[in-house]
A and B are shown apart, each in its own frame.
Chain A
Amino acid sequence: MAILVSSRGRAPRRRTSARRIAGMSVTHLVLLVGGILWLFPLLWTLGSSLKSDNGFFAKGLNPLPDGLHVSNYSNAWQEASFGSYFLNTVVVSGGTVILTLLATSMAGYVLARTRFPGRKVCIGLVSVTLFLPHGYTIIPIFDLIREVHLLNTLWAVIIVQASTGLVFSTFLFMGYFSTMDKGLEDAAKVDGASFNQTFFRVMLPLSGPMIATVGLFTFISAWNSFFIPLVFTLSKSNLRTLPVGMYAFLGENSTQWTFVAAGSVITLVPIVVIFLLLQRYFVNGLAGAIKG
């Protein structure tokens, strides 16, 4: 389409439509080839994870494997402890999502729909953290975690990771709850629902799309997080998450390339699948953030 010249009124109609179809086809071709090239590093990794050690070098840039060496996966899972890294990553990501959803949905709800002394101060406090220079706050956080004796636990990673996305998620929930119909709460009240019941049984279930958006953002950033788990697992290798484990593995055994490829696939596939299933929420969330 991009290459199509604007049709001056005089051009015969049939020719224009033929040219339009040709133009469309070229666009599709460029997009498709470009898209496959764009994803080539990931496709090549997928193929390489099934190659033999010799095949890895013999095949070079060819993503197609020389047979299906699934043993790379079992080796990576057991010998290179990607199995336990995987479990750690699931725990960290799941924990971060639950903590973030709970803290931000509850806060977003009361900030949007109840009035109490200090409400404006709270909103101000949340907003101001957006503008303060974050810089390198990991050191005081590290200290604080040590003081409360959580150093070298997955709890540390979960809590610190959750604290990175709080402000953004709170604002999303606040916006969502403030658009809800007041009649819902009245109806719940008539039915004799308590404050907790109104929130957990009525309002929260109705905020499904926002739960999906915040949950997905949080999950992806927690799953991929590198810096926070790196710092908090420096002296405990059995607590490593997948990205940290991959990094460490590369430093320690830089020759077992097919293991590394298998490990990369183990890290990438879950997040890609989850993204593909729920991408509507992710893309809409991003689009809403830039427009707002």
Chain B
Amino acid sequence: MQLLDTPASRPQTDGREAGRAAPRPRPGVFQRLWAGRRSYLYLTPLMVLLVAFVLYPIFGSLIYTLYSWNGIGSPQNFVGLDNFRQIVHDSIFWQAVEHTFVYAIIVVPVQLLIALVLALVLNNKKLRFSAFYRTLFFLPVVASPAVVGVVVQLLLSNFGDTFNNWLMDVHVIGRPVDWLGNPTIAMGVIIVVGIWQTLGYNLVYFLAGLQTIPEDVYEAAKIDGAGRLRTFRAITVPLLRPVGLMIVILAFIGSFQVFDIVQVLTGGGPYYGTEVVNTYIYHLAFGGTMDTATQPDVGLASAASFFYGLMLIVFAVLQVLIFRSIAKRRGAGPA
């Protein structure tokens, strides 16, 4: 018990010291609560915010899933699990899930590969200006995703035609491409922007991971005559694995929550062609997309959100299990 000693709490402390000398019952609950009153006071702002805006909403949204409700007034029309049934049978929801997964499954590996290569190059102690290069590649991270979306629209509005003409000249395409009007190509643009914007996080994560590998391990490998590739496979990869797993998991979590760039670049359009789960839920909760005006349905939106949350938990558990089985198989094999 290293109670913080303040003038006010001194009698309390004295009491306990006396108690330690002669076996006496611990101070009563109320005394201890009173002694901790300053601690409670200091905790209050955090706890109020946490309970009101983090914990309550998680459980509050669960109640909305049982109502058909347009968000005005209080929910009246109890529909039981009907919202969940509707979501499971909504083909647009499953399209949105598919788009989100396609986004994540392309963005995560491509981005992590580039980030890892870059981190390996920048981690070289003999490379000068390494911190400067890191800053260059990190910078898009601090740009607002919404503004990045605007900038990309700006670029496409301008050089979209130039780029089209250029591609037609070299016969890559037969006719002009509508960059954000064609769902497949728009999704490609979103993916490229996604990779560009968040690569910096993974670069810094990988650099941090590489720096945890002690220099003398590399020295030892060099003395043993291990080549570059051998060193990478026998030292860097296994020692980077714990941090690497964390990076993969974080990258997937982030990708599954993509919203800003999609909303700004395409709004989920054309005709739900690039709708991801978070834009789908947004459109359900706050009204239609640019293409289609619909009545907001908060109950349905909450159900979709909750259902997607459950899907992500299942995915996270699967991910951990897969990683664990891979690790086990490697551990069991010959060293």
Contact = CB atoms under 8 A, between A and B. Distances in A.
A163 interface: yes
A115 B61 contact: no
Contacts of A70: none
A178 to B, nearest CB: 11
Nearest to A162: B49
A274 B152 CA distance: 23
B5 interface: yes
Contacts of A15: none
A110 B205 CA distance: 30
B312 A107 contact: no
B144 A27 contact: no
A151 interface: no
Contact of A163 (B50, B143, B158, B243): B50
B146 A107 contact: no
A206 interface: no
30 contacts: A2-B120, A5-B228, A35-B133, A39-B140, A114-B38, A114-B39, A117-B29, A125-B47, A126-B50, A129-B50, A129-B55, A135-B305, A135-B309, A136-B306, A137-B57, A137-B61, A140-B57, A163-B53, A163-B54, A223-B144, A242-B144, A243-B146, A247-B146, A257-B158, A264-B147, A271-B143, A283-B134, A290-B209, A290-B243, A291-B212
Interface string B21-48: 0000000010011011011101101110
Interface string A244-265: 1011001000000100110110
Interface residues of B, number: 102
Contacts of B45: 99, 102-103, 106-107
A110 B45 CA distance: 12
Given A113-B4, A117-B29, A287 B204 contact: yes
Contact of B52 (A45, A144, A264): A144
Interface of B: 1-8, 29, 32-33, 35-36, 38-40, 42-43, 45-47, 49-50, 52-58, 60-61, 64, 71, 120-121, 124, 126-129, 133-140, 142-155, 157-159, 162, 196, 201, 204-205, 207-209, 211-212, 227-228, 243, 246-247, 250, 259-260, 263-264, 278, 281-282, 285-286, 298, 301-302, 304-306, 308-310, 312-313
B40 A6 contact: no
Contacts of B302: 136, 139
Given A133-B58, A271-B142, 12 more contacts: A114-B3, A117-B33, A122-B47, A137-B57, A138-B57, A139-B301, A140-B56, A140-B60, A144-B53, A186-B5, A196-B38, A247-B263
B285 A159 contact: no
Q: Is the contact region of chain A dominated by helix, strand, or loop, or is it mixed? A: helix
Contacts of B260: 226-227
A48 B158 CA distance: 11
Which 4 pairs between the two chains have the least Cβ-Cβ distance?
A: A116-B36, A136-B305, A133-B309, A140-B60
B14 to A, nearest CB: 14
A138 B301 CA distance: 11
A125 B135 contact: no
A121 B121 CA distance: 45
Nearest to A102: B45
B121 A31 contact: yes
Contacts of A50: none
A120 interface: no
Contacts of B46: 103-104, 106-107, 126, 166, 170
A227 B281 CA distance: 12
B297 to A, nearest CB: 11
